[in-house]
Amino acid sequence: MANVVITGSTLCIGLAMAKEFLKYRCNVTISGRPDSIAYQEQGAVKVP
């Protein structure tokens, strides 16, 4: 299992990358601005 850190991951390609890594059961750490899409959609990034 890999550890992945994605900065700027609460919008667009970063958010999509985080979701894909989770599908492969990676440990994912994300960071981004609190006014972004992922924060507006509570639970936007979940373990499948």
pLDDT digits (tens, 9 = 90+) for 2-48: 999 988 766 678 888 888 998 999 998 888 776 666 555 556 556 55
Look up residue 9 and give its DSSP letter.
T
pLDDT given for residue 42 in this prediction: 52
Q: What pTM did the predictor assign?
A: 0.67
Cβ 4 vs Cβ 29: under 8 Å: yes
